[in-house]
A = this chain, B = another copy of it.
């Protein structure tokens, strides 16, 4: 491929709407073009990167005896009704009617389609276990697409589905898949992706893990223990709070706290510790508008996913009306209206002497003791674990909160879909049983963005050799110099004949412009042919990451380039092998 012919435009200025680096380079480097909010066309370089990622994924899936199939993008609503998700999933499921008025959806995941395809083959125990996967376009009607290829509406995803006759068999395959995921990310140049325990959300099931690339620009919060290595996403990390050593029981007293609406204002006004206060957070259940008041320790935050899982209902922040009986800013658990549901977070457990709202404007209580004043209440975990908090596994105060980008996920689904969709098999003993499922996803475009986030400098992406659109860029510094041009042509041809993917900058442009474009194109190896060095019989060979930059005798340039490429592959493969 010649740069002069490469469809796409590269430019210098960072677009104003690009908050994260991978988004900026995707646009500046001629990798993608936005067609609609969160919907992109891919230019040839990004298409090549995604194809390379897909090849790695295919090889690893095939090695797990998963069979590549293809499900439709457009699915009948009736199929999603079988599983119950037609109703249960929110607006991110794009629903529409075809010309005959039949309800259809755009597939965002394909559990239903997988059960539909596997149901016949899965009629007998002898055919288990088995696994199928596809790499296909999906659509998720995100309310707020952002960050380039990280959170889009239309995306290409590998989704695999496995079917088992026992939980043990599922777990065994799940572990193999988990190991395979590490290999996939390592092979694409992301050895630092970590698996974290996660909440299963709308996919369902009990056990699930997310594969996270740690990155400050990530939109997920990840909980890590620096001592024992525990990791989970925020929703899946149990919050443990140590309230030993707080003040002893006092007397319940109503105090005047004029204008103190936040817990910080109250504690400041009263001169008490926020850690010994009780904060109210008010919600309403989406379906019924019923009020739910969550009480947490003053310095803790409610995790809405934990709350949703507890309630089995989606919630939204409450709109406090007069009829509700709630007093915004002064809500407390003592003598609260009985028109709402009350939840006590575990962070309050063990505090003897609390400040809390007085359920009357400008009044709070001091000296609240939950057991004495409210009786036996149940404490549940609905708050976010804190940076510096207690590890739920080793119990040490070594929790660190990081940001991450979710690059993949795996789920043990149990029988959620097979049950609702009535998939059964005849077991060895002749009885009818329900198979157990797992599902496993990797977003291809998001993986490409993750690689860009993990591998770039100020000037552009530094593609790992395994996924690079071109392995080598050959630059001719003077196309008007016959000797220089001929030498570069020859290198281009010879490398191509060796089966190496090469991009050739054959344009008559200044060195600065050529190198700026080479940085955006991000080929891991660059061969620069300049007339001066050539006169001395030398050609420049360097890597995109600047770790290698040497002059090579011109007769050795092909061999040296090949050697450098092989080394870059070996570096990545070494990491993959180490893991196994």
Contact = CB atoms under 8 A, between A and B. Distances in A.
Interface of A: 1, 4-9, 33, 35-36, 39-44, 46-48, 50-51, 65, 67-76, 79, 91-92, 94, 96, 98-100, 102, 104, 106, 113, 116-118, 120-121, 126-127, 130, 132, 136-137, 139, 141, 143, 153-154
B33 A47 contact: no
Given A36-B104, A121-B9, A70 B91 contact: no
Given A43-B69, A69-B44, A116 B33 contact: yes
Contact of A7 (B41, B117, B143): B117
Contact of A69 (B39, B41, B73, B139): B41
Contacts of A76: 35-36, 39
A35 B69 contact: no
Contact of A72 (B35, B96, B98, B132): B35
A292 to B, nearest CB: 26
Given A36-B104, A94-B96, A121 B75 contact: no
A73 B7 contact: no
A137 B157 CA distance: 14
B136 A6 contact: no
B65 A5 contact: yes
B72 A117 contact: no
A480 to B, nearest CB: 16
B94 A69 contact: no
B41 A70 contact: yes
B116 A72 contact: no
Contacts of A117: 7, 33, 41, 43
Contact of A130 (B7, B33, B70): B7
28 contacts: A4-B127, A6-B67, A7-B67, A7-B69, A7-B117, A7-B132, A9-B121, A35-B71, A35-B76, A36-B74, A36-B75, A36-B79, A41-B71, A42-B69, A47-B69, A51-B68, A72-B154, A73-B137, A73-B139, A73-B154, A74-B106, A74-B153, A92-B99, A94-B96, A94-B98, A99-B141, A100-B143, A137-B137
Given A67-B7, A69-B7, A99-B143, A79 B121 contact: no
Contacts of A141: 98-99
A448 B98 CA distance: 26
Contacts of A104: 36
A246 B75 CA distance: 60
A427 to B, nearest CB: 18
A134 to B, nearest CB: 8
Contacts of A33: 116-117, 120
Contacts of A65: 5
Contact of A79 (B35, B71, B74, B100): B35
Contact of A35 (B44, B96, B116): B116
A42 B70 contact: yes
Nearest to A62: B1
Contacts of A69: 7, 41-44, 47
A70 B96 contact: no
A65 B132 CA distance: 35
Contact of A139 (B43, B67, B74, B100): B74
A71 B6 CA distance: 17
- Greatest chain B CB density within 10 A among A33, A35, A44, A118 is at A35
A69 B39 CA distance: 14
A44 B118 CA distance: 12
A69 to B, nearest CB: 6
Nearest to A130: B7
Contacts of A116: 33, 35, 41
A25 to B, nearest CB: 17
A50 to B, nearest CB: 8
Top 6 closest A-B pairs, CB basis? A96-B96, A36-B76, A44-B67, A42-B70, A9-B120, A91-B99
A42 B135 CA distance: 12
Nearest to A6: B67
A109 B9 CA distance: 24
Nearest to A507: B126
A132 B154 CA distance: 21
Given A9-B120, A33-B117, A44-B67, 16 more contacts: A5-B65, A5-B127, A7-B118, A7-B132, A35-B76, A36-B75, A36-B102, A39-B74, A41-B69, A41-B72, A41-B116, A41-B117, A44-B132, A47-B70, A94-B96, A98-B141
Contacts of A7: 67, 69, 117-118, 121, 130, 132
A8 to B, nearest CB: 6
A130 B6 CA distance: 9
Nearest to A142: B99
A219 to B, nearest CB: 19
A154 B75 CA distance: 10
A51 B62 CA distance: 15
Contacts of A48: 68
Nearest to A156: B70
A144 to B, nearest CB: 10
Contacts of A153: 74, 98
A141 B104 CA distance: 12
Nearest to A100: B143
